[in-house]
Amino acid sequence: MKNKGSGLLTDPGTSPIVLASQSPRRAYLLQLIGFEFLIQPAQVDETKFSEPDPAKHVLQLSYLKASNVGDVRTDGLIIGADTIVVLDGEILGKPADANEAVNMLKRLSGKTHRVYTGFTLLRADNNHSVSDFEVTRVHFRDLNDDEISSYVDTGNPMDKAGAYGIQDQSAVFVDRIDGCFYNVVGFPLAKFYKVFMKFE
């Protein structure tokens, strides 16, 4: 069954919504718009995934994540998602260490990059699904070395694609965006909500 209440709130009903992600940011955003859900992170090795087309990359990984959780459940509406940063045609994932984080931020300095988030809604009982994605252009002002090392010292870049989180101290690095803000945080709320309300 569908889990849709009146207005902005969802009714958990008898079939739960399941977020197939361990990202606290995605959980926060879904709560923000009134969703109630379980969290059951997918077991997908993203390092072995090498699709070079950004949109296909996030769509396929979001599907793989939702599907992985769907495989071990008999019910539930599963939400999978994947976010990447693309600079000059190259996909930037999460930095392996502080040194790589510094190098990523130096590359992003003074330039516009793109953030892609793909998401998949999948019903565990019949495997019906819908996938979509959003892209947002993000511009960094020129950063100096002190700002970069000070930010990397916080540890915040380490679990984030492109080595920054627009919702943390690096907010001052971003002087403008073009598109959906929450897509940059890791989940495109407006597009997701629209797709969710139409999903049968």
The answer to whether residue 82 is catalytic is: yes
Annotated catalytic residue: which of 11, 82, 88, 175? 82
For residue 6, the minimal CB distance to its own copies (Å) is 6
Query: How far is Cα 182 from Cα 190, in angstroms, rounded to an integer?
Result: 8
What is the nearest approach in angstroms of its own copies to the Cβ of residue 20?
21
Q: Which residues contact 117 (CB under 8 A, 6 or more apart)?
A: 58, 81, 82, 83, 133, 134, 183, 186, 187, 188
- Cα distances from 77 to residues 7, 8, 162, 169, 174, in angstroms, run 19, 17, 29, 34, 35
At position 161, the amino acid (one-letter code) is: A
Q: How far is the CB of 23 from its own copies (least distance, A)?
A: 16
- In the complex, the residues that contact its own copies under the rule CB under 8 A are 6-9, 29, 32-34, 141, 146-147, 149-151, 153, 166-169, 171-182, 189-191, 193-194
Give 70 or 113: the residue with its C-beta nearer to its own copies: 113
Nearer to its own copies, 5 or 12 (CB): 5
Catalytic residues: 82
